[in-house]
Amino acid sequence: MQLGFGHWTLVRESVMEIKTVGFEETGVANQCCDGVQFCLEPSFASGAMWSADEIAELCYLHYRTRLPKQGKPNPNREWTSLAAVVKVESAFQRAVLASPGNLQVTKEVVAMGTGTKCIGQNKMRKTGDILNDSHAEVVAKRSFQRYLLHQMGLALSHQQCSIFIPGTETGKWKLKPNIIFVFFSSHTPCGDASIIPISESENRLSKLVTEDDAAGQSAECRSNHDHLRPGDKRKSEKMASNHIIKRMKTDDDGYFSVITEDLAVQQVSVKQEDETSTNSAEMQTANKETGLGRPKVVDVYRTGAKCVPGELDDARIPGVGYHCVGLLRVKPGRGDRTCSMSCSDKLARWNVLGCQGALLMHFLQYPVYLSAVIVGKCPYSQEAMRRAIIERCQHISFLPDGFLAQEVKLLQSDLQFEHSRQAIHEVQTNSKAKLVPCSAAISWSAVPEQPLDVTSDGFRQGTTKAAIGSHQSRCECCDIWMHIQDL
């Protein structure tokens, strides 16, 4: 299972050797892909040779210089989200042996996507020629699949520049052990990861700055229970009675609702995260002794993603009890409900099944996993991210050989995306124009043929109603084109 790489000192039959290897973290013990036990030295997969800001800066530069103006938001009134996949490659074993203390890595954006939209269920097509979900994270992942398909083609043509090498199974391929992939998103993924505690001081500030936006979010987060058929409503009420909604107490005697049965998440704390601290337990003890408590939590950030119809629903209690965490959610639609799962749910899925897709997996010995997920400057909670992407799937067992729920590294950058909602709002503070999400989505992949695509409403931008269904209307990363490329 190749989750990363590093410069390791191996002990094999009492002989010390330096080797660049793919590795799988299995708690205290670690194991190379060839089965050799080793002791950890600085891990490059965990970011020793790159930082969250470096990855963010690289992605922002690629956005500014490699993507066209077409498809980007009008900064006077529009905003969008950005996501990308970055390949991080270390020097080969020969270079490591020559200079073991000076291992360098190269970083390259291999896939990128922008977008905030998602089509409703009534616009979905069985032909697979429409892009159902145009959120940046999904567009970037599909663009990444195009890159992987191209790289598999190079491998089958016996070209050494491919990222894949022959596996130990006949006819199977695996990722080179000196390559990892890092996922970047300019904003916290929609869904469970976006349910973030708000302290009292943050709440006062947000009311002064974004009172109108908060009202809009609340309207967008209205209950999906009213849209259910009578049978579904009864099913929802019955299921709710069979589950325990545990209310976690906060410092201000408020409560944070948590599902504690049939879900992976068992505990949720609303403490404010500080990823730079390594002594949180000691700090909490010191706070108790000095009378300094944690920041008073008075609310949570709302997510527009709706609970899956027929399942448990949000409590919608004003304040910290508005949302229940750990639930599967679908993306919101304007009137017409969508069938697309939230980006938090999809990232959790990729963290177990990989990013390669079912078709490419026929040629691979191991899935292609992400080694890290980095989020740009925005409202963020390390605890919410870990809960949404890692902890919800830790209970999954009986997976096929090679598949494993990963301990992906979660980081945040201090660099803000120039076309994010927050950045545009700061620039347009005195403008009376209402900010709206950009209707277009851009996909870019590091492939030689048609690397760029701009879509709107699931089809290539500019597609007329009469042209829907034609080859010209299909974007490069819709299902039907992805299948054709794989063949």
Catalytic residue list: 137
Cα maximum dimension of the chain: 72
How far apart (Å, rounded) are the C-alpha atoms in residues 200 and 480?
49
The token duo for 470 is 């034609």
Query: How far from 4 is each of 24, 181, 294, 362, CA to CA, in Å?
Result: 8, 8, 36, 22
CB 43 within 8 A of CB 6: yes
- Going by their DSSP bridges, the two strands 197-199 and 297-300 should be labelled as antiparallel
Looking at residue 399, what DSSP letter applies?
P
Cβ–Cβ < 8 Å for 343, 190: yes
Of 321, 316, 312, 189, the residue nearest 262 (C-alpha)? 312
Bridge partner list, 29: 26
Identify the burial level of 164 via C-beta atoms within 10 angstroms of its C-beta, where 0-12 means exposed, 13-18 middle and 19 or more buried: buried
Q: Which residues contact 186 (CB under 8 A, 6 or more apart)?
A: 59, 81, 82, 83, 136, 375, 376, 378, 417, 420
Assess contact for 435 and 79: CB atoms under 8 A. yes
| Residue whose structure tokens are 């269920």 | 121
Pairwise CA distance, residues 114 & 71, whole Å: 9
Name residue, tokens 């996922």: 183
Are β-strands 164-166 and 173-175 bridged in parallel, bridged antiparallel, or unpaired? antiparallel
Strand bridging mode 372-375 / 179-185: parallel
- DSSP element (H, E) containing 137: helix 136-156
**Distance (Å, whole) CA 10 – CA 2:** 17
